[in-house]
Amino acid sequence: MDQQPKRPGFLSLPAMLHENAYILFVFFSCCDIVLTWVILRKGGTEANPVAAVVIRDWGLPGAVGFKFSLTLFVIVLCEVISRFRPRTGRALAITSVLISASPVVWSGVLLARHAIDRAEAAPSLELGAAEPRERRSQPNIVVILADDLGWGELSCQGQRRFSTPAIDALASTGVRCTQGYAGSTVCAPSRCALLTGLHMGHADVRDNVERPNPSQGEFGGEAPLAASAETLGERLQRAGYETAFVGKWGLGITGSEGDPLTQGFDRFYGYLCQRHAHNLYPTHLIRDRERVELPGNDPASRSESLYAPDLMADEAESFIMAPRDIPFLLVFASPLPHLALQAPAEAVARHAVADDPAYPGGKGYLPCTAPRATYAAMVTRLDDHVARLDQALRRSGQWERTIVVFTSDNGSTFAIGGYDPAWFDGTGGLRGHKTNLHEGGIRVPWILRWPGVVPEGTVLDMPVTGWDLVPTLCAAAGVAPDGGSVDGIDLRPWLASAGRPDAPPPPERELYWEFAGSGGQRAMRLGAWKALQKGVRKDPDAPIALYDLATDPTESTDVSSHHAALVSELRQRMMRARMTARDPTCDLPWGESAHH
């Protein structure tokens, strides 16, 4: 019997160049997928483009499955060819290894370079530091402002009727501030506080003051921001930023002092007037100073073709993706989930519930056949838009160098327009709602992500406000406001040390609100103490209630009778915290007895 030729040993050169090539091929293929996924998570775009597309479209599990299938196909092909042409099969196997290894090596170089750049660029954020140790490039800034989204309307903050995975993911890659406050309890003044850094004792706009419509089909807007106001957009324009405001403005129409194009923004798209935003299928929107018709939308017949919030998300995404060599500021002020209850039919269907009594309409709000499902669809649509902006930052390679803020202009609304407060518990159990200064009206979601600076997945349990954003974001851009020009503080030291045992203690400061609506109200928080005065229109010296938020976060027990001296001190502090309002209809002066 003829002796069979001896097969090369496992560690022999022919085996290493053939059979063992398959092991290396599988190994490098897996590394390619994993490293590409890591680079994409860090906002990079220079990874293997084929792997990147597969990961974006199919996710990591789908990409791994695809890669294994492709790898298995190549191995089988090499084996079949080797049966007839051994040298060709061996050459094909070795070539496959080299091809699969090249993107792995390149990905490793990218990650190493990223680690070096990140270490060299890390700024100094110690308390009082105004500039980085090593000046790094200015970050892009994206501020996402929801409309009437309550503290408890995110799944990461306890919502159970729907989920918000994209906003939750934003929190998991940044810091979630559990004591975040809006600038006011209604839309326009809160936006004023966010853009100017001034609280309601000093702000130009302190209520929703509506202006009459000039003609049929045109909107008159609200009381405008003063020409003398200095906005976040103006400050960053001077620092070389390209700026855009997309969404609901509410601080003046075209030609007024509050025109966004004269208030620091190079681009505008959306609603200038808040009443215009009460229909999410409008006949038109405004681009810069021009009217843009939306064919197929007819409020009279309830013809609903183009969903304005989706168009605004398209605009915001395009702005992020636009090529530029300067940093940018994008304020994406979505009209969601503000009433009226409107959402695309397919989105509503995904949230259908058996117990969902129709809302007949009234008080200026449209009827809705499935109000609970529609509201859930509106919030999750907002979450989808957050996901789109996040992906745009990743695809454009800007994720790693972009600060993203997510917050809301005030707490959730009350039982009006078909919204069901008991069903959704939008305040998360807090007392009050939009239009009052209890915690439910001003406590809001507040999330900030800043890769490489703010620790991922952390929680900051100290009061932060909408008027803190101007000093914080300006300082991040290297243009800290002049002393006294804002009421907010630079939050970077606390954000950067969130979750650390050596974090600096919360600052001792007053937080002040006043609201001319709902009978007139004032509030101040000092540490855990909160003073609240209602009925100020009728009685400027109305009694002040006192709550200890440390032990009574739902403001269930007024303890003012036990702390008369503290109430007196807070009254004096509230008097000093304000100046006469620019608009007399919004002014809340103290009575004569308060000055004695």
Q: Which residues of 389-406 are buried (b: 16+ CB within 10 A; e: fewer)?
A: bbbbbbbbebbbbbbbbb
Shared domain check, 334 and 288 = yes
Residue type, 140: N
In terms of residues, how long is the chain? 596
Q: How confident is the model at residue 96 (pLDDT cuts 50, 70, 90)?
A: confident
End-of-domain residue from the set 500, 523, 541: 500
Sign of CA dihedral 308, 311, 316, 319: negative
Shared domain check, 344 and 414 = yes
Shared domain check, 97 and 66 = yes
pLDDT value at 117 more than 80: no
Both tokens assigned to 106: 């390149």
pLDDT per residue over 200-254, tens digit each? 999 999 999 999 999 888 999 999 999 999 999 999 999 999 999 999 999 999 9
User: Residue 535: which domain range?
Assistant: 511-595
Residue 124 belongs to some domain of the structure: no
Cα(316)–Cα(338) distance, rounded to whole angstroms?
A: 19
Both tokens assigned to 389: 């902006």
pLDDT per residue over 285-322, tens digit each? 999 999 999 999 999 899 999 999 999 999 999 999 99
- Domains in the chain: how many in total? 3
Cα(235)–Cα(141) distance, rounded to whole angstroms?
A: 13
Shared domain check, 409 and 535 = no
End-of-domain residue from the set 112, 127, 161: 112
Instruction: Answer yes or no: are the C-beta atoms of 290 and 202 closer than 8 Å.
Output: no
Q: How confident is the model at residue 131 (pLDDT cuts 50, 70, 90)?
A: very low
Shared domain check, 418 and 350 = yes
Mean pLDDT computed over 53-72? 68
Assign residue 338 the CATH number of its domain. Answer: 3.40.720.10
What's the N-to-C CA distance of the chain in angstroms?
A: 121
Q: Which residues of 343-373 are buried (b: 16+ CB within 10 A; e: fewer)?
A: bbeebbeebeeeebeebeeeeebbebebbbb
Residue 198 belongs to some domain of the structure: yes
Residue 102 belongs to some domain of the structure: yes
Shared domain check, 158 and 39 = no
Q: What percent of the chain has pLDDT over 70?
A: 85
Residue 130 belongs to some domain of the structure: no
Residue 409 belongs to some domain of the structure: yes
Q: Calculate the average pLDDT of the chain.
A: 88
pLDDT per residue over 461-514, tens digit each? 999 999 999 999 999 999 977 767 999 999 999 999 999 999 999 999 999 999
Q: How confident is the model at residue 519 (pLDDT cuts 50, 70, 90)?
A: very high
Residue 551 belongs to some domain of the structure: yes
Q: How confident is the model at residue 98 (pLDDT cuts 50, 70, 90)?
A: confident
Instruction: Answer yes or no: are the C-beta atoms of 429 and 156 closer than 8 Å.
Output: no
Shared domain check, 183 and 299 = yes
What's residue 72's pLDDT?
79
Is this prediction's pTM over 0.75?
yes
Residue 217 belongs to some domain of the structure: yes
Instruction: Answer yes or no: are the C-beta atoms of 513 and 184 closer than 8 Å.
Output: yes
pLDDT value at 564 more than 50: yes
Cα(49)–Cα(556) distance, rounded to whole angstroms?
A: 57
Shared domain check, 366 and 275 = yes
Alpha helices (runs of H) in 275-427, residue ranges in sequence order? 308-321, 345-349, 371-395, 421-424
The Cα-based distances of 577 to 147, 202, 516 in angstroms read 27, 8, 16
Instruction: Answer yes or no: are the C-beta atoms of 338 and 382 closer than 8 Å.
Output: no
Shared domain check, 528 and 487 = no
Q: Which residues of 246-265 are buried (b: 16+ CB within 10 A; e: fewer)?
A: bbbbbbbbbebbbbbebbbb
Shared domain check, 310 and 226 = yes
Shared domain check, 569 and 481 = no
Dmax of the chain from CA atoms?
121
Shared domain check, 548 and 424 = no
Mean pLDDT computed over 162-188? 98
The Cα-based distances of 421 to 144, 364, 407 in angstroms read 24, 19, 20
pLDDT per residue over 351-387, tens digit each? 999 999 999 998 888 999 999 999 999 999 999 999 9
Cα(61)–Cα(263) distance, rounded to whole angstroms?
A: 47
Residue with tokens 């009694």: 543
pLDDT value at 406 more than 80: yes
Assign residue 516 the CATH number of its domain. Answer: 3.30.1120.10
Sign of CA dihedral 36, 37, 38, 44: positive
End-of-domain residue from the set 93, 112, 131: 112
Helix/strand/coil percent split, the chain, to 5: 40, 15, 45
CA atoms within 13 A on the CB side of 61: 0
274 Ramachandran zone, left/alpha/beta (phi>0; psi -120 to 50): alpha
pLDDT value at 153 more than 50: yes
CA atoms within 13 A on the CB side of 168: 14
The Cα-based distances of 121 to 39, 199, 475 in angstroms read 18, 33, 16
Mean pLDDT computed over 448-462? 97
Residue 287 belongs to some domain of the structure: yes
